[in-house]
Amino acid sequence: MIRAMRRQIRDQLCTFFSLIIAVTPSLSYYRNTADEMALMSLCLSLGLIFLDLEWRSKSVDAIPSYQSICKLVHSAVDCNGRKLSSIPENLPANTQEIFMDANFVKTLRNGTMQRYGNLWSLSLQGNNLELIESGAFSGNKRLKVLSLQDNAIFVNYPMAANALRSLPSLKKLDLSGNYLTEDMTGILLQNLSSLESLSLARNVIMRLDSTIFESLGQLQELSLEKNYIYEIEEGAFQNLRRLQRLNLAYNHIPCIVNFDLTKLWILNASYNNIEWFLAEESSANFELQTLDLSHNQLLFFPLLPKHNKLRSLLLSDNKMNFYANASNTTTSKDGLVKFVFISNNVTNVTSVNLWEEVILGNFSSLKFLDMSRNLFQYLPDGFLASMTSLSHLKLNQNCFWIINLNEREPPATLVELDLSQNQLLELQVDLYPGSILPNLQFLNLSTNRLKRMPSQFFTHLDSITTVDLSHNQLNLCPQKNRAGDRICIDFRNITSLRHLYLAGCDLEPVFDHAFRGTSLTKLDLSSNKRALLRGMHPLQDLALTLQSLSLRNNGLSNSAKADFSKFQNLLALDLSRNTLTSFPSTLNSLALRSLDLRRNHISFPQFMVHQRLVKNLHIVYLSQNPYDCCKLDWLKSLQELRTVHIADRQQITCKFSSNTVSAMELPKSITQSCLWITKDMTLLYLVLILPASLTLLVAFIILVLMVKQRLFKIVKSRWRGSSSY
């Protein structure tokens, strides 16, 4: 039944195909773009011809030998980017490698490389190379590696084809970025039976017919990345019996049906429009290890080869779901999906249990499964249980409501589980005695809506080191929530835990010893405005282990309460987006390497005066604080230190009267005004003091004079009196 359905799907797709070819205007657009590209490159090459001629007359002909231009290392010659218009003819005869990238070699003439009989590698990337004469490689029978990317081979491809055919040992050929169409490619590849690696990336190939790779029986690696391929004829890869790596990324492939490349190790079909991936239904052994179908339009989980060696299955960025309980109209209880086919006025309804086939496949070697950014709502029972080697599972950014972790699945081998950005309300766990997921180290549950989850869950994860629960509403046990509708999670005595992310959890004030018995090195409590209302006391159990602490947007306003003196191992501290008005002085005793003080109310970060802190600091963020433009000497000294990188220096602003300006580019007028303000102050003092002292002086003189007068009078009267005797 399944087979019949597949055939039907295939037939449907074929008609679909012919329709596309006849109707879709976008394809003619591709053809146009191809033509346009060719034209553009022609213009480009014309432009370069002139350049080239100029160069020839000026410099190249004037230089007599290669020695002054190229570098010789053993038997390799490096002439990259030397503005040469031909391969030097007087290199040592035993030269084995020539690098001529980014020059102006527009033509490879007959016989120019005749004398390099030992040459095995030639690189001519980015030369605008147009013409390779048929006999250009006639003396280079040992050439194995030829790099011709980013040239204009399309201009004279028949002749280039002749030249390539004269290379009996050619193993690796790169023709990417040469504006080649499928017809040109077919001719260029004729009889290149020694090739083992071929790149045709960034060309304008649209179809692959069954003959195009006919003669490449030794090919192991083929890249067709970034073309315009929308159709691959059946049998196109038939003769590539040794092909191991196939890259079809960035094309327009609508589906892959009847996939039968049993020898392939890696298939990269990411960034296409694939809606279906159906492997051939056979019991053949597939060597496939890596399958990348990410960034496509898959609606269903791919139907993979039954016998495979898959280790990596990349399915992110598609539209997949399992449909057994998705909709009641087309689905019955046992998970059958009904397909309605309408062809030739006959309607045929086929029921199929699509996902049963998934189970039929053997996933026992799968290690890495990425199903992120799809539309999955649930995983069928037993889906993960069959993946007995699975270590990394990414289910983030889907539509999961419930996840069930029981004894059977996911398998005990799991190391990393990412469930972030779903709609998770419930984490169902069978808390059987002993360890659940004994190898799990990383669990990301960030950005969900968790309402039910066992509070002791993490005590059962023996190897857990990293937990991200940020952006869920929760509390830390045994604290009871007032409203009572929140889960509480117990982190006490989880000895393996190192990194804990609890940002945006709307935590109640954390009680003392909430982290007792853990050895956290990294803690993120950002955006929990009430968590540390009572100061840093609740974190004291972590004082000796904590190396990185994030308290961004935590409503910290009182620098005295932010007492960090006990956290002597702290290396990174984020205090941004708080309302600190002064620099927390307890930081001075720490040996921080990174400090973030952005977006506070700090007017003067006097920390730089304190030796210990500044001596160790590598990176600091200081912007969005109300600094005074006339008091920026600290910033200057900090910059002069050179050991501290002010990461956001361009964003630092300061205030002058009511203006906010960039502190790095203070306008002259402001520096002047600042100077004036300081000068004015001395003047003001002068103006204030001078009259006062003058008055005092005058008063003193008057006083002295008055006293003098009286004395004079007294003396005079005495003298007069005595004179009367």
Binding residues vs ligand NAG (CB under 6 A): 4-5, 110, 133-135, 138, 165, 190-191, 225, 249, 268, 270, 290, 292, 314, 327-329, 345-346, 348, 350, 396, 420-421, 444, 446-447, 466, 468, 501
Strand-pair partners of 290: 266, 312
Shortest distance in whole angstroms from residue 332 CB to ligand NAG? 12
DSSP string, 401-467: SEEEE-SSSS-TT--EEE--SS---EEEE---SS-SSTT--EEE--S----B--TTGGGG-TT--EE
Shortest distance in whole angstroms from residue 300 CB to ligand NAG? 17
Select the residue whose beta carbon is closest to ligand NAG and give its number: 135
In the complex with ligand NAG, the residue whose CB is nearer, 137 or 154, is 137
CA separation for the pair 2, 352 (Å, rounded): 7
Shortest distance in whole angstroms from residue 418 CB to ligand NAG? 6
Shortest distance in whole angstroms from residue 228 CB to ligand NAG? 16
- Which tokens sit at 713? 């009078």
Contact 279, 259 (CB under 8 A): yes
DSSP string, 183-195: HHHHHHTTT-TT-
Shortest distance in whole angstroms from residue 69 CB to ligand NAG? 26
Strand extents, DSSP E, 450-517? 466-468, 474-476, 487-489, 499-501
In the complex with ligand NAG, the residue whose CB is nearer, 144 or 165, is 165
In the complex with ligand NAG, the residue whose CB is nearer, 97 or 221, is 221
Shortest distance in whole angstroms from residue 136 CB to ligand NAG? 7
Contact 437, 414 (CB under 8 A): yes
Shortest distance in whole angstroms from residue 294 CB to ligand NAG? 8
Look-up of token digits 């690098």: 99
Shortest distance in whole angstroms from residue 37 CB to ligand NAG? 20
Name 65's Cβ contacts closer than 8 Å, sequence gap at least 6. 88, 90
CA separation for the pair 336, 354 (Å, rounded): 7
In the complex with ligand NAG, the residue whose CB is nearer, 208 or 310, is 310
Task: Give the other-Cβ count within 10 Å of 650's Cβ.
Answer: 11
Shortest distance in whole angstroms from residue 346 CB to ligand NAG? 5
In the complex with ligand NAG, the residue whose CB is nearer, 6 or 82, is 6
In the complex with ligand NAG, the residue whose CB is nearer, 133 or 541, is 133
Q: State the burial class of residue 20 (Cβ atoms within 10 Å of its Cβ: 0-12, 13-18, 19+).
A: middle
Look-up of token digits 């086929």: 350
DSSP string, 634-680: HHHHHHHH-SSEETTGGG-EEEETTEEEESTT--HHHHHHHHHHHHH
In the complex with ligand NAG, the residue whose CB is nearer, 138 or 413, is 138
Can you say whether residue 427 is alpha, beta or left, with left for phi > 0 and alpha for psi between -120 and 50 degrees?
A: beta
Helix axes 25-58, 2-23, angle to 10 degrees: 60
- Which tokens sit at 519? 């050895």
CA separation for the pair 232, 225 (Å, rounded): 14
Query: What b/e readout covers 45-75, taking b as 16+ CB neighbours within 10 angstroms?
Result: beebeeebeebbeeebeeeeebeebbeeeee
In the complex with ligand NAG, the residue whose CB is nearer, 190 or 435, is 190
In the complex with ligand NAG, the residue whose CB is nearer, 327 or 722, is 327
In the complex with ligand NAG, the residue whose CB is nearer, 171 or 202, is 202
In the complex with ligand NAG, the residue whose CB is nearer, 331 or 435, is 331
Shortest distance in whole angstroms from residue 83 CB to ligand NAG? 25
Name 501's Cβ contacts closer than 8 Å, sequence gap at least 6. 446, 467, 468, 469, 470, 524
Shortest distance in whole angstroms from residue 593 CB to ligand NAG? 20
Shortest distance in whole angstroms from residue 357 CB to ligand NAG? 15
Shortest distance in whole angstroms from residue 237 CB to ligand NAG? 18
CA separation for the pair 308, 482 (Å, rounded): 54
Shortest distance in whole angstroms from residue 345 CB to ligand NAG? 4
Strand-pair partners of 653: 662
In the complex with ligand NAG, the residue whose CB is nearer, 346 or 483, is 346
CA–CA distances in Å: residue 495 to residues 354, 464, 466 = 44, 9, 12
The vertex-224 CA angle with 223 and 230, nearest 5°, equals 155
In the complex with ligand NAG, the residue whose CB is nearer, 465 or 569, is 465
Name 174's Cβ contacts closer than 8 Å, sequence gap at least 6. 125, 146, 147, 148, 149, 198, 199
In the complex with ligand NAG, the residue whose CB is nearer, 86 or 565, is 86
Task: Give the other-Cβ count within 10 Å of 414's Cβ.
Answer: 23
